[in-house]
Amino acid sequence: MAKGLPNSGFDLGGRELEELAAEAARFKGESLWQDAWRRLRGNRTAWWSFVFLLGFTALALFAPILPLPSPVSLDLQLEPQPPVPPWETFGRSGFAPEYWELSSLDQLLVDARVGLFADWQTGPWLGTDGKGRDLLSRIVWGSRTSILVALAAALCSLAIGVTYGAVAGFLGGRIDNLMMRIVDILYSIPFIFLVIFLITIVNEYRAELEDGWGIDRETVFYVVIGAVYWLTMARVVRGQVLSLRNQEFVEAARVLGASTARIVFVHLVPNVLSIVIVYLTLTIPAVMLFEAFLSFLGLGIEPPKVSWGLLAVDGSEMVNPVKLYWWLVVFPAAAMGATLLALNLLGDGLRDALDPKLRGKD
Amino acid sequence: MLRFVLRRLLWFAITLFVVVTISFFLMRSVRGGPFDGERALNEAVERNIQARYHLDWPLWKQYLQYVGPVNLGDTGPEMLGGDGSDPFTGILVFDFGPSFKYRDFTVNDIIGQSLPISVSLGTIALLWALVLGLSAGIASALWRGSGADVTLRLAATTGIALPNFTVAGFLVIFFVFLIPVLPVAGYGSWKHLILPGFALGAPFAAYIARLTRTGMLEVLSQDYIRTAHAKGLPPRLVILRHAIKGGLLPVVSYLGPATAGILTGSLVIERIFAIPGTGSHFVNSALNRDYTLAMGVTILYTVLVYGLNTLVDFAYTLLDPRIELEDS
C-alpha cells in the first residue's frame, strides 16, 4: 500500500512512509474525557474531594452491613449522652435489628450484618441524642436518605432541563422564544412558596397516592424538587445547543436524513454533556440544602426515617439555655458541611477540567 | 427607557396572574379546609362560616372576588345588588381578605404587623453580607495566592456549603453559651436581630466574596488599571477609584437573587430564633391550611422579588454603560 504520494514532487518510498506512520502512532490522541480525567487528577483539591465523596457514598451504601447500632432503637435516658471515644469503648453487645420498613436489598444486608457480627455493635463514639439513639448510626443512615434525595432530584432536573433546553435551542425562533419566556416567568416565582404549598396539598392526598398509584410521598418529594431545579439547566443547555446547531456536523446529519429527535439526542446532547455534568455537581449540593430546609420545616423526610436535615433540626432543637449538647449540633453539621464542601470543590474542579476556558471564573 | 419599564410591567402582570391563578385553584381544590377542626361543627355554624368566606359561591365567582377589584358580595356596589358600602375588594386593591385561622384578623393586618420585622431582619442580613463579602473579596483579590487569600476562599466555600440553620446553631453555641453577650431568641431589641441577621447573611456573604474576588481579578488585569498605575496614581486610589467600580458589577447583578434567597432563608431563621416575622407566618399558615394567609404571603414575596430584580437590572445598566436596557 505504501506508494509515493501522487504528484507530490517528493518521492516517498514505502520505508519512509512506514517510519512516518510509526512516528505518528507514538503520539496518542487524547479524547476530551481522557484530557479532563488527567486534569482532574492533577487538581489535588478536586481529586481528594472526589475520593472523599466516593468513600462516603460507599459508607452510605453499605450502612446496613456495618456493625452500627440501630438508628431508631430507643433507649430512654434523661438526657443525651456525650461522645465516648473509640479508645475507651470500642464496641459493646446489645444490638437489636430495629429499622423502619426497609427495601428487600437493605433487609438482605441487615441479615448479613446480623450473621457477621451477631449482636456486637460500635460504642457511642459520637454520643446519643435525646432519645438515646446512636448519633453515628443516625448520621450514616441519614446520609443514605440525603444522597438518594440529591441524586434522584438531580437526575429529575437533568432529564427535564436537558430535554427542554435542547429542544428549545434546536428549534429556535418563535418556539424557542416562547419556551424561554416560560422559563423566565418560572424564574421570577419564589418557588419555595409554591413547593411548600404543593407539598402540603400532596400531604392531604397521600393515602390515595400510596394505595391507588403506588406513589409514596418521597417520590413526589423528589419530583417536586427536581421540577424546581431544572430551570438553570435548561438555560445552559439551550445556550450551548444554540451555538452548536449551525455547525457542519449537524448539517451533515441532516443531509444524511436524520430526524430532529435523532439530531437533538444523538448528536447535540453528547456535545453539551460536559457542561451538564458541571452543573449537575453544583445542583446536587443545592438539592441537599433544600432537602435539609424542607425537613427543617417539617415538610421533608418524616421520622422514623432519618436525613441530615432532620438531624440538624434535632440538634438545633436541643440548643437550650440549661445545658449544651454540642455534639448534636457539631457532628451532623460537620458531616453535611464536609460533603457539601467536597461537592462544591469537585464541581469547581470538574469545570476547570472540562472547560479550561472557564478556569478561575465563577 | 420607558419601553423597558413598560415591558417589565407587562411581564410582571403576566407572572403575577399565573402565580395567583395557580395557587388559588390549587388552594381551593384541596379536600379538607381550615375549618375541619378536631370536632365537627354544627351545621348552622358551618353554613355561616361558608357564607362569611364565600365558600358557598361557585369557584369562578370566588376567584373574581379574590382578584377584585369589584366586590361581588352584599356590601358591593349598588349596580350589582349590594348596598354600596364597600365597593372594592380583592388583591387588585391590595386586600388579601380575612385570615382563615386567625379569624379576628385580616391577612393585611397580619402582614402589616410582621413585615416590618422581616424587612429589618433582611436589611441587616443583606448589609452584613455586603460588608463582609466585599471586604473579604477585595482583600482576597489584592493578596492573591497568599495565605489570607486561601483562608478566605476556604471560608467562603464553607459558608456556601453550610445550611443557615447550622450556622445559626454554631452562632448560638458561641455567643449565647460560651461568651454570653446576646439573647438566644425572641424579638424586642436590636440585640435580638444580630445573631439571626448574621446567620441569614452568612451564605450570601460567602457568595459575594467569591464574586468580588473574580470580578476584581479580572479588572485588575485590564489595561486601564496598568495605565492608572503608570501615570503614578497611588495604589489605594487605583483600587478605590478605578478597579472597584468595574469589579463590583457581578455583585450588583447578584443582589436580586440574593434578596430572594434572604427572603426564603428567613423562613427558617425566623423559626429558629422565634421572630414573629412574615416568614414564620407563612410556614405556619401552610401547615395550618390557612390558605388566604399563605397566598397573601406568596403574592407579596413574588412582588418583592420581581420588583427588586427589576431595580437591580436598572441599577446595573446605570453602572455599566456597555449594557443597554434591552429586556432580553
Q: Can you tell me whether residue A134 is helix, strand or coil?
A: strand
Neighbours of A115 (CB within 10 A): 9
pLDDT at position B30, please?
67
The predicted model gives A26-49 an average pLDDT of: 77
DSSP codes, A14-30: HHHHHHHHHHHHHS---
| A360: chain B residues, CB-CB within 8 Å | 214, 217
Strands (E), chain B: none
Cell 393585611 identifies what position?
Answer: B108
Residue B83 pLDDT: 67
Interface contact A193-B297, CB threshold 8 A: yes
Q: What is the Cα–Cα distance from A190 to B300, expressed in whole angstroms?
A: 10
Most confident listed range (A14-18, A87-91, A188-192): A14-18
Element (H, E) at A121: strand A120-122
Cis peptide before A71 (omega within 30 of 0): no
Per residue in A247-298, pLDDT (tens digit) is 888 888 888 888 888 888 888 877 787 778 777 877 888 888 888 888 877 7
Q: Determine the pLDDT at residue B4.
A: 76
CB-closest option in B169, B289, B297 to A316: B169
Residue B82 pLDDT grade (very low, low, confident, very high; cuts 50, 70, 90): low
Question: Mean pLDDT: which of A113-122, A126-135, A315-324, B240-249 is highest?
Answer: B240-249
Which of the four pLDDT bands, split at 50, 70 and 90, describes residue B42? confident
Bridge partners of B98, per DSSP, are: B106
Does the structure show a pLDDT above 60 at B37?
A: no
Higher-pLDDT residue of A77, B224: B224
pLDDT score at B127: 92
Residue B82 C-alpha from the chain's centroid = 38
A98's CB contacts (< 8 A; 6+ apart) are: A70, A72, A73
Confidence bin at A7 (pLDDT 50/70/90): low
pLDDT tens digits for B208-257? Answer: 988 888 888 888 888 888 898 899 888 888 888 888 877 787 888 788 77
**What is the pLDDT confidence band of residue B31, given thresholds at 50, 70 and 90?**
low
Q: Searching chain B, which residue's CA lies closest to the CA of residue A347?
A: B157
List, for residues B167-190, the tens digit of each pLDDT value.
887 888 777 777 776 776 667 777
Per residue in A83-113, pLDDT (tens digit) is 777 777 777 766 676 777 777 777 777 777 7
Confidence class for position B125, pLDDT limits 50, 70, 90 = very high
Phi, psi at A23, each rounded to 5°:
-65, -40
Q: How far is B146 from chain A (nearest CA, A)?
A: 16
- Structure-block grid coordinates of residue A327: 455534639
* Rounded distance between C-alpha atoms, residue B33 and residue B28, angstroms: 9
Task: Say whether pLDDT at B312 is over 60.
Answer: yes
Q: What is the pTM of this model?
A: 0.76
Kindly give, in sequence order, each residue whose CB lies less than 8 Å from that of residue A349, ignoring residues fewer than 6 positions away.
Answer: A40, A43, A45, A46, A47, A49, A50
Which residue from B160, B176, B286 is facing A344, i.e. has the nearest CB?
A: B160
Decide if A353 contacts A44 (C-beta within 8 A). no
Higher pLDDT pick, B225 / A12? B225
pLDDT at A4 over 60: no
Residue type, A159: A
The reported pLDDT for the residue numbered B174 is: 79
Q: What percentage of chain A has pLDDT greater than the value 70? A: 83
Residues of B whose CB is below 8 A from A337: 158, 161-162, 166
Can you tell me the distance from the alpha carbon of A139 to that of A224, in angstroms, rounded to the nearest whole number? 25
- For range A243-250, the mean pLDDT: 82
Dihedral angle sign, alpha carbons of residues B64, B34, B285, B107: positive
Alpha-carbon distance of A185 to A339, in angstroms, equals: 33
**Residues A53-72, buried b or exposed e (16+ Cβ, 10 A)?**
beebeeebeebbbbbbbbbb
**Among A91-100, A174-183, B276-285, the least confident range:** A91-100
The pLDDT of A132-149, averaged and rounded, is 84
Instruction: Spell B280-305 as b/e; 16+ CB within 10 A means b.
Output: bbbbebbebbbbbbbbbbbbbbbebb
What does the pLDDT read at residue B131? 93
Of residues A64, A160, A71, A68, the one with CA closest to residue A103:
A64
Is the per-residue pLDDT at B23 higher than 80? no
- Which residues lie below 8 Å from residue B112, measured CB to CB, with a gap of 6+? none
**Most confidently predicted of A40-54, A75-89, A320-334, B21-35:** A40-54
The answer on pLDDT for A8 being more than 60 is no
Instruction: Measure Cα distances from A133 to A62, A82, A91, A107, A136 in Å.
Output: 20, 12, 15, 20, 9
Count of residues for chain A?
362
| Spatial separation of the C-alpha atoms in residues B278 and B63, rounded to whole Å | 24
User: pLDDT band at A3, cuts 50/70/90?
Assistant: very low
Can you tell me the distance from the alpha carbon of B235 to that of B225, in angstroms, rounded to the nearest whole number? 10
Q: Give the pLDDT score at A1.
A: 42
| Backbone angle region of A347, left / alpha / beta, with phi > 0 → left and psi within -120 to 50 → alpha | alpha
B71: its cell numbers: 366586590
Instruction: Please answer yes or no on whether B184 and A204 come within 8 Å at the CB atom.
Output: no
Q: With an 8 Å Cβ cutoff, are A337 and B169 in contact?
A: no
Mean pLDDT score across all residues of chain A? 77
Query: What SS3 class is residue A280?
Result: helix
Q: What is the pLDDT of residue B163?
A: 78
Cα angle A279, A282, A285; round to 5: 145
Tell me if the bond preceding B69 is cis, omega within 30° of 0.
yes
Q: Average per-residue pLDDT in chain B?
A: 79
Question: How far is the C-alpha of A313 from the C-alpha of B261, rounded, in Å?
Answer: 20
pLDDT band for B130, please (50, 70, 90 cuts). very high
ipTM (interface pTM): 0.72
Contact between residue B312 and residue B255 where contact means Cβ atoms under 8 Å apart: yes
Residues B294, A314: Cα–Cα separation, whole Å:
26
Distance from CA of A76 to the nearest CA of B (A): 25
Task: For residues B259-272, give the mean pLDDT.
Answer: 82
CB contact under 8 A, B15 and A189: yes
Is the CB of residue B202 less than 8 Å from the CB of residue B166? no
Q: Do B27 and A192 touch (CB under 8 A)?
A: no
A360 has pLDDT over 50: no
Place of cell 444490638: A95
Bridge partners (DSSP) of residue A128 are A134
Nearest CA distance, B44 vs chain A (angstrom): 26
Which residue shows C-alpha cell 445556550? Answer: A239
The residue written with cell numbers 444486608 in the block is A109
Contact B15 A362 (CB under 8 A): no
